[in-house]
Amino acid sequence: MSDELIRLEREGPVAVVLLNRPKQLNALSGELMAALVETLRQLDEDRDVRAIVVGGNERAFAAGADIAELAAGTAISLYENRRIDAWDAIRAVRTPLVAAVSGFCLGGGCELAMLCDLIVASESATFGQPEINLGVLPGAGGTQRLTRAVGKAVAMDMILSGRTLSAREALGFGLVARVVAREAWLAEAKRVAADIAAKSPISVRLAKEAVDKAFEAPLAVGVEFERRAFYLARASDDATEGLNAFVEKRLPEFRGT
Ligand code: CO8
């Protein structure tokens, strides 16, 4: 199942996970999400994987949840099959996730990209939460994560009017980290992932957790978490190596211990 719906590539410590329902613009069916979650769970357990790129294809990252499935289901079936709960497993992935976005990144697709740790977008990317046009609203964290990313004014505009953002607008509003030429959408995301993968995996994971705390805890709690994460990182061999390497004017060799 996952072989069809998900394409998985490895480039050294970087895993590349590509959604593969091109005819449906990578609409996130229950089956596709289950395959994605399972793939990410397995990669997260592999100590040799230091960063993961999540992408689609040039035309679409993902055009949202599968509308045909939503139309066929009921409120009760959605509640009982707990499909949206599966998305929480992505938030729990400790390995850094880089979203590589080209083309449509809408609805659940935008929510999936925002579940990743940072977004690299091609100039062709379009971001939106158009659920309002369907008589519903974002259901996988969009009202919360988009608002935290771009602020209330732009989030309200997008979620209430269905306004879409170009990649440049998304960069200006703080939704994406980098915008690159159309053809570089995947290469640049892989490059960012490779840069992250070259760091100490312990400090990277702790830093990811600490930044996430900024969204989920009051400032004092987040600052305290960061301090303890700093102490913990300092206890690693990699921290000793990194600090000594600077003092000795050489490049560090991180071992993940
Ligand atoms: N779901 C299912 N099929 C889709 C979806 C989708 N989200 N988007 C596109 N498709 C299908 C089309 O039906 C079409 O199929 P077919 O060729 O069989 O007719 C094919 O993909 C190509 O699409 P178009 O012909 O429409 O291509 P265009 O280039 O003309 O338009 C658009 C591209 C603008 C992206 C257009 O397809 C569109 O508006 N798509 C829907 C976007 C949208 O509304 N997304 C939000 C969906 S709701 C959501 O995400 C809620 C998330 C809450 C979490 C729930 C988890 C279970």
Positions annotated as catalytic residues are 65, 108, 111, 131
* Centre of ligand 1 from the C-alpha of residue 37, in Å: 21
* Centre of ligand 1 from the C-alpha of residue 64, in Å: 6
Q: Which of 5, 19, 21, 24 to mutate to test the pocket of ligand 1 (most atoms within 8 A of CB)?
A: 24
**Mean pLDDT score of the chain:** 96
How does pLDDT run across 185-241, given as a tens digit for each residue?
Answer: 999 999 999 999 999 999 999 999 999 999 889 999 999 999 999 999 999 999 999
Q: Is the CB of 24 under 6 A from ligand 1?
A: yes
How does pLDDT run across 69-101, given as a tens digit for each residue?
Answer: 999 999 999 999 988 988 999 999 999 999 999
Q: Is the CB of 115 under 6 A from ligand 1?
A: no
Task: Supply the pLDDT for residue 76.
Answer: 95
pTM: 0.97
DSSP one-letter string for the chain:
-HHHHEEEEEETTEEEEEE--GGGTT-B-HHHHHHHHHHHHHHHH-TT--EEEEE--SSEEE--B-HHHHHHS-HHHHHHHTHHHHTHHHHT--S-EEEEE-SEEETHHHHHHHHSSEEEEETT-EEE-GGGGGT----SSHHHHHHHHH-HHHHHHHHHH--EEEHHHHHHTTS-SEEE-GGGHHHHHHHHHHHHHTS-HHHHHHHHHHHHHHHHS-HHHHHHHHHHHHHHHHTSHHHHHHHHHHHTTS-------
How does pLDDT run across 119-172, given as a tens digit for each residue?
Answer: 999 999 999 999 999 999 999 999 999 999 999 999 999 999 999 999 999 999
pLDDT band at 2 (very low <50, low <70, confident <90, very high): very low
Q: Is the CB of 132 under 6 A from ligand 1?
A: no
